[in-house]
Amino acid sequence: MKLSLEQAQIRDRIVGAFGSPQVAKQLIETWASSNGLDTSKAYEFFRPKHARQPWQAMIWQAYIPPKFTFILWLGIRERLSTRDRLAFLQEETSCSLCINRSESAKHLFFDCPFSERVPKMAWHQPPYVNHPMCNQMAKERED
């Protein structure tokens, strides 16, 4: 079987990973289909795989609205468009709620006196009492 340029490049990366051209050829042949190379199998092999984080199982739940999950996910990954991250666009970086400190995801979720009231109110509502997410947030606040 003659390899295309793309297949040869993939083979070279696999040989670099496993050290054997025979293993590389066998693996590429398992990816072959009647239409050529099945790129999804090649992508799955090469894509970076990271260990699941403990918080992932808590936030990706069917009963949590996607917009809340997405905002929480951005916050955990420190990718929210907070004022500290947008400082290059404006001069003001102080928190718009308390005006005492620089607005960051950590400040908004854990340190701001105004946002601190929200979980306290939510935890007293029946659906959220002893919910794993509330327990995790309380643990983060203590640390």
| Side chain identity at residue 72, one-letter code | L
Model pTM above 0.85: no
Per-residue pLDDT tens over the stretch 41-55: 878 888 888 888 887
Cβ contact 21:15 at 8 Å = yes
Q: Pick the residue with more confidence: 37 or 30?
A: 30
Look up residue 52 and give its two tokens.
């699941």
| Side chain identity at residue 43, one-letter code | Y
Give the pLDDT score at 133: 65
- For the chain, the 3-state helix, strand and coil shares in percent, each to the nearest 5, are 55, 5, 45
Give the pLDDT score at 141: 65
Per-residue pLDDT tens over the stretch 68-86: 889 888 888 888 988 888 8
| Banded model confidence at residue 126, pLDDT cuts 50, 70, 90 | low
